[in-house]
Amino acid sequence: MRIVVIGATGHIGTFLVPRLVRAGHDVVVISRGTRSAYADAPEWARVERITADREQEDRDGTFGARIAGLRPDAVIDLVCFTIDSARALLDALRGSDTHLVHCGSIWRAGVSHVLPITEEVATPPFGEYGTQKDAIARLYKEETASGGVATTSLHPGHISGPGWVPIGPLGNLDTTVITKLSAGAAIEVPGLGAESMAHVHADDVAQAFQLAVEHRAEAVGEDFFVTADTALTVRGYAHLVASWFGQEARLESVTWDRFRETTAGEDADASWEHLSRSQVFSTDKPRRLLGYAPAYTASETVLDAVRWLVDNGEVEVARPLAG
């Protein structure tokens, strides 16, 4: 197939583009050209590269036509964040036989009521990001149901892997938590630490996108949550990280008010966004329809990310990482 990947040099594209090339597809990558993929691979030499500023071209009303003009069999859109941008791409592809595969987010689901969360049973989203992703997914589903563009929406969890900071034990990107756990120092945990986070390795997300385009008949008109089979609680994650450095986690339960007093505002807000949802997702539907088989557990996912940070001097640790 001729496959266009929009936003190809980010977390998912770093793993997805080489996968598609190895599978024999003709791949066109669209990016702003401001950064390279997180990990180099020889397959990148075999793709067609196009530089485009999507935000500007959306404002100009030209981006959708540019993509349609490439005459793709499938478009994988990894960087669509607003309903207007989604609608413009739909309008441009309408009348073609292109399969549009959209990258959504697990945050199209709100706080957890029943676990695991499934595609059919999820509470309403909240916050601008989640509500926009939900609106886009609903727009696409309605489009396909009405006989328009063939679409699929995949909703990844907290994407992690080598090359960037993962969502940490406290639900934010503050790497000093890893430093403290490596030294056996105490960390303050808001509440009981029983809240869950739904991590997923970037290569497993890439696997799901590849499967979606290669199993078009099963994927069209569907939504899929894409996570690891397991999920980590705050305290479980903290104990896990400490164990990598031969330590026992020392956790002090505090109120959210206390946590906000002692935590940078941006980090405290991120913690609340992740932990208040406390999500765990079923992988049954993508397994059943697409053959999705995540290679990484949540624990292995964050270890892969932390190991890269340690090996590249991106985080200070008191003791060597085990193994």
**What is this structure's pTM?**
0.96
Residue 213 and residue 186 share a domain? no
Residue 89 and residue 19 share a domain? yes
Residue 272 and residue 135 share a domain? no
pLDDT given for residue 36 in this prediction: 75
Round to whole Å and give the CA distance between 4 and 70. Answer: 8
Domain boundary among 189, 208, 226: 226
Round to whole Å and give the CA distance between 17 and 134. Answer: 26
pLDDT given for residue 32 in this prediction: 85
Residue 211 and residue 192 share a domain? no
Residue 185 and residue 49 share a domain? no
**Averaged pLDDT of the chain:** 96
Residue 73 and residue 222 share a domain? yes
Cβ-proximal residues to 133 (8 Å cutoff; 6+ apart), any chain:
81, 104, 105, 107, 108, 125, 155
Query: CB burial class (10 A; 0-12, 13-18, 19+) of residue 186?
Result: exposed
Residue 221 and residue 95 share a domain? yes
Q: Would you say residue 323 lies in a domain?
A: no
Domain boundary among 226, 243, 266: 226
CATH number, domain containing residue 253: 3.90.25
Which among 177, 176, 168 has a CA at the least distance from the CA of 302?
168
Residue 74 sits at the vertex; the CA angle it makes with 72 and 75, to the nearest 5 degrees, is 90
pLDDT at 188 over 90: yes
* Containing structural domain, residue 244: 163-197+230-279+296-311
Domain boundary among 207, 226, 245: 226
Radius of gyration of the chain (CA): 20
pLDDT at 120 over 70: yes
pLDDT at 255 over 70: yes
Residue 148 and residue 19 share a domain? yes
Residue 36 and residue 138 share a domain? yes
DSSP string, 148-203: SSEEEEEEE-EEE-TTSPPP-TTSS--THHHHHHHTT-EEEEETTS--EE-EEEHH
Reported confidence tier of residue 240, pLDDT bands at 50, 70, 90: very high
Residue 181 and residue 111 share a domain? no
Reported confidence tier of residue 134, pLDDT bands at 50, 70, 90: very high
Q: CB 129: neighbour CB atoms within 10 A? A: 14
pLDDT given for residue 33 in this prediction: 75
- Helix residue spans in 76-127 (DSSP H): 83-93
Read off the pLDDT of each residue in 177-187 and give the average, rounded to a whole number. Answer: 97
Q: How many structural domains is the chain composed of?
A: 2
Question: CB of 3 within 8 A of CB of 26?
Answer: yes
pLDDT over 90, % of the chain: 95
Q: Would you say residue 129 lies in a domain?
A: yes
End-to-end CA distance of the chain: give it in Å, rounded: 41
Q: Would you say residue 120 lies in a domain?
A: yes
CATH number, domain containing residue 126: 3.40.50.720
Query: CB burial class (10 A; 0-12, 13-18, 19+) of residue 75?
Result: buried
Q: Would you say residue 321 lies in a domain?
A: no
Q: Would you say residue 51 lies in a domain?
A: yes
Q: Would you say residue 289 lies in a domain?
A: no
Q: Would you say residue 252 lies in a domain?
A: yes
Q: Would you say residue 260 lies in a domain?
A: yes
Residue 135 and residue 191 share a domain? no
Residue 92 and residue 213 share a domain? yes
